[in-house]
Chain A
Amino acid sequence: MSAERRSHPVYVAPIPRFWWVRTAPFRRFVIRELTSVFVGLFSVVLLLFLLALSRGEQAYRGFLDWLDQPGIVVLQVITLAAVLYHTATSIQLASQIQEVRLGGRTVPRHLLMAAMTGGLIVASAVVAYLTIEL
């Protein structure tokens, strides 16, 4: 009895305009998706950094001064919070999707998450070393 062949009326409930405000899981989902805006934003910041670098020393110093502004630092802190939530949820989701088998047995999910978190720490340390010490 699909719509074309139905011989009786049916009631189709309308979806609320902002359906995602209604339940906590939906709200958490939307916050998770919003973190991608901050991800894109930081890509742009990196790009502006490189653009300033390509324009010579004066432009570069100007960009560093821009980074010094309190308003920009606040934005970066918010960006960091958003990106860390993105990282946490990505690890959560990836650990569900990716099955890793070692020696014929599946690695339990919490171990996978711990390994990925370890990966984050190692990657951060390597980035810090290469950026600051090298």
Chain B
Amino acid sequence: MAHAEGPPHPVRSEPFYWLLFTAGGGVSAFLFPAHIVILGIAWAAGWLPDDALSYERVLDLVQNPLTKIYLFVLIVLPLFHAAHRIRYGIRHELRVEENKHIVASACYGAAYVGTAFTLWVLLRI
């Protein structure tokens, strides 16, 4: 085996990112379709009631702490899901097999940046 330098040690970070990936997959699988239809299609198509996305109404809705927690989970977990899959896609499908640690750090790093940004924006509202 190519790696034999003493007994192999399990990687501490992989279970953590895999759990985030799984959770993010579930959140996006079950919640994104409705949000995409509402925000991305129904609004432009004029299917929503006139004041559904009015500034006052949405601000009021989002300022509720429960909404903020929901939105945090809704945005952040799928970011880690995408980061995890893109990380392996870069290695296996794009065949970038060198610098595995740098690629992984860049992918999860981008998700962490998104997390921090989400937190900051939610606190501002």
Which residue in chain B gives the minimum CB-CB distance to A57? B55
- Chain B residues with CB below 8 A from A33, complex form: 85, 88-89, 93
A123 contacts chain B at the CB level, 8 A cutoff? yes
- Chain B residues with CB below 8 A from A60, complex form: 55, 58
Given A50-B62, A54-B121, A37 contacting B82 (CB threshold 8 A): yes
A54 and B124: CB pair below 8 A? yes
Given A54-B124, A76-B41, A83-B36, A131 contacting B86 (CB threshold 8 A): no
A132 and B33: CB pair below 8 A? no
Given A30-B93, A33-B93, A45-B40, A39 contacting B28 (CB threshold 8 A): yes
Q: How many residues of B are in contact with the other chain, CB < 8 A?
A: 52
Give the CA-CA distance A76 to B86 in the complex, in Å.
20
> Contact string, B73-101, partner A, CB cutoff 8 A, digits 1/0?
01110110111111011000101000000
> Contact string, B21-34, partner A, CB cutoff 8 A, digits 1/0?
00011101111111
CB B16 to nearest CB in A, in angstroms, measures 18
Given A43-B82, A73-B41, A53 contacting B59 (CB threshold 8 A): yes
Given A53-B125, A68-B44, A79-B36, A43 contacting B75 (CB threshold 8 A): yes
CB A87 to nearest CB in B, in angstroms, measures 4
Give the CA-CA distance A47 to B121 in the complex, in Å.
8
B79 and A40: CB pair below 8 A? yes
Q: What is B's interface to A at a CB cutoff of 8 Å?
A: 24-26, 28-41, 43-45, 48-49, 52-53, 55, 58-59, 61-62, 71, 74-76, 78-79, 81-86, 88-89, 93, 95, 114, 117-118, 121-122, 124-125
21 A-B pairs, CB-CB below 8 angstroms?
A: A37-B82, A39-B82, A40-B79, A42-B32, A46-B75, A47-B121, A50-B75, A50-B121, A61-B55, A67-B43, A73-B41, A77-B40, A77-B41, A83-B33, A86-B29, A87-B30, A120-B29, A123-B31, A123-B34, A132-B49, A134-B61
Q: What is A's interface to B at a CB cutoff of 8 Å?
A: 17, 20, 30, 33-34, 36-37, 39-40, 42-47, 49-51, 53-54, 57, 60-61, 64, 67-69, 72-73, 75-77, 79-80, 83-84, 86-87, 90-91, 94, 119-120, 123-125, 127-128, 131-132, 134
